[in-house]
Amino acid sequence: MTVDVKIGITDSPRELVVQTEQTSDDVHAAVEAALSGKEALLRLTDEKGARFLVPVTKIAYVEVGTSERPRVGFGAKNS
């Protein structure tokens, strides 16, 4: 399962969206460490291995949620 992380950047009209294999708890811990002043950068790695570094002073908000991969095939349930 992947975790979707949306980061609002100050002075930017767009948000940064990262899909990561990290757990929701790991992402929350990284965000808390960065915002508490323990880190100058928020570091995330997406599911393809790309690394993102966001300066803490530029973070407006962080939204962490899970995203389910679409199920296909005979075992998929229809909603």
CATH assignment at residue 19: 2.30.30
**C-beta pairs of 28-34 under 8 Å, 24+ apart in sequence:** 28/64, 31/62, 31/64, 34/59
- The string of pLDDT tens digits covering residues 61-73 is 999 987 666 666 6
- Enclosing domain of residue 56: 2-67
- The string of pLDDT tens digits covering residues 9-47 is 999 999 999 999 999 999 999 999 999 998 899 999 999
Is the per-residue pLDDT at 78 higher than 70? no
Q: Domain total for the chain? A: 1
User: Is 61 part of a structural domain of the chain?
Assistant: yes
